[in-house]
Amino acid sequence: MRASCARHERMRYVHRHCGRRKSRASNLASVLLQSGNDVAVIDKDLTTANRLSVVLEGRYLVIHGDGCDSKFQEDAGIRRADVFVATTGQDDNNLVSCEIAQRVFNVPRCIARVNSPKNLRIFKEVGIECVSSTTLIANLIEEETLLGSVSVASSLTHGDVLLSEVVVPRMRHHSNEAGVLASSIPMPDNSLIAAVSTKDDVEVVSEETVLFPGDKAVVVADASVLDEVRALFKGL
């Protein structure tokens, strides 16, 4: 199916996801549903699957299961899907689930999040469209901005604006088990924490977002203060 200039044709998407936080699964699914598409989400985490079943609105289906298992893909209606999207934090899982969708069920278009740049070539060689974590984050921020959830432009009014990932270290002044509220970190002028990337997912930062050691804080900052931001995180 194609979207024409005259009208929007409903498409059927199957989204394979795995994560325990308020997640990109709900963000991506919501955007697709708001555009009038049919969406099925496969999530291995029961808590996330149950939450998505409550918060999503539109023509959707949520399956609790493993997206690398053809049975769960079939339960999600993969045979009628126009697009299959895999956005877990594990490249091997994304590759396997996309190959099943592509080779077993002949899904016309498969898109995967690729977390490690060294794996991009493998995905491209088997005909799977790739989205890097950084691109995914940038698109997510753009989507959330358009939806009015965040304002990335806020105080970034001059200079070269950069998108950078800063790893949260083992912390000396905060509890490593409880984490630290992103909103409580005193960011320099002309910088902000826009999103957080974990091993499972990527999400736009909200007032409730908590950062833990090993998370990657996605910072939008003027180039002149980026070193200051990195030093700030090292001193947490």
Each domain of the chain, given as residue ranges in start order, spans 12-143, 153-234
Q: What is the pLDDT of residue 21?
A: 47
154 pLDDT above the threshold of 50: no
CATH of 12-143, one of 1.10.220.110, 1.10.287.1770, 3.40.50.150, 3.40.50.720: 3.40.50.720
8 A C-beta contact, residue 83 and residue 107: yes
Lowest model confidence (mean pLDDT) among 4-8, 147-151, 217-221:
4-8
Q: What is the pLDDT of residue 191?
A: 82
Q: What is the pLDDT of residue 111?
A: 86
Lookup: tokens for 136 = 């995914």
Q: What is the pLDDT of residue 25?
A: 53
CA distances for 73 relative to 3, 16, 227, 231, angstroms:
24, 9, 45, 45
C-alpha to C-alpha distance for 218 and 187, rounded to whole angstroms: 13
Residue 157 banded pLDDT, cuts 50, 70, 90: very low
C-alpha to C-alpha distance for 58 and 75, rounded to whole angstroms: 19
CA distances for 91 relative to 12, 113, 159, 161, 177, angstroms:
24, 7, 35, 29, 27
Residue 74 banded pLDDT, cuts 50, 70, 90: very high
- The 3-state DSSP class for residue 226 equals helix
Terminal CA-to-CA distance of the chain, rounded, Å? 50
Average pLDDT, the chain: 78
The CATH class that applies to domain 153-234 reads: alpha beta
Q: What is the pLDDT of residue 136?
A: 58
User: Does this model's pTM top 0.75?
Assistant: no
Pairing between β-strand 60-64 and β-strand 38-43 as defined by DSSP bridges: parallel
Lookup result for tokens 């985490």:
45
Lowest model confidence (mean pLDDT) among 11-15, 121-125, 173-177:
11-15
Q: For the chain, give the percent of residues with pLDDT over 90.
A: 33
Residue 19 banded pLDDT, cuts 50, 70, 90: low
Question: Of 98 and 138, which is predicted with more confidence?
Answer: 98
